């Protein structure tokens, strides 16, 4: 599954307002909740925070990929957020996080969930791409950068 199949321009926040981990999760959870009227922001945030207790999803180098599984979902949902200032997200390298991909997936979708996480991780290994994401001027430009780069990934 390509990222373009689960993210739209409106799922992108070019400049997050949040200054901490919980705030980022709340802001991005609002985005994914727009896709399913049964999905509630508080529940999404709770599930994501429970996942964070297992170990931070701040994977270092300014990147976090918060993710979780939700039983009522029929298909995965993805949101992207950027903080030029950076957020203390308790990342493994203790550096501020600037780029966030939030993924929520159906409870019974372990292989798909892992496949999407792998695509995102592979995408973000490209330093030129990360630089482009940081410099992009609009959510339209960010969307184009993500979807074009995703076409090049083979997983």
The tokens for 117 are 């996480």
Q: Which of 67, 98, 113, 115 is catalytic?
A: 67
User: How far is residue 84's CA from residue 109's CA, in Å, rounded to a whole number?
Assistant: 33
Q: Are 109 and 122 in contact (CB under 8 A)?
A: no
Does residue 67 have an active-site annotation?
yes
Which segments within 7-153 are labelled E, that is strand?
12-13, 58-60, 63-64, 67-70, 77-87, 97-106
The tokens for 151 are 């076409």
User: How far is residue 3's CA from residue 150's CA, in Å, rounded to a whole number?
Assistant: 7
- Of 109, 150, 107, the residue nearest 7 (C-alpha): 150
Return the active site residues: 67
């Amino acid at each position: 599954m390509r990222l373009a199949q689960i993210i739209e321009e409106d799922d992108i926040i070019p400049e997050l307002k949040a200054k901490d981990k919980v705030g980022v999760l709340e802001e991005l959870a609002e985005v994914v909740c727009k896709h399913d009227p049964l999905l509630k922001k508080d529940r999404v945030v709770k599930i994501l925070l429970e996942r964070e207790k297992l170990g931070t999803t701040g994977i270092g180098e300014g990147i976090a990929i918060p993710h979780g599984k939700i039983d009522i979902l029929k298909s995965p949902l993805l949101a992207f957020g950027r903080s030029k200032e950076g957020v203390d997200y308790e990342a493994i390298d203790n550096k501020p996080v600037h780029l966030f991909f939030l993924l929520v997936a159906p409870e019974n979708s372990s292989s798909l969930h892992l496949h999407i996480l792998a695509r995102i991780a592979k995408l973000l290994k490209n330093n030129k791409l990360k630089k482009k994401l940081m410099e992009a001027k609009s959510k339209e430009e960010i969307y184009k950068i993500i979807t074009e780069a995703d076409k090049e990934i083979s997983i």
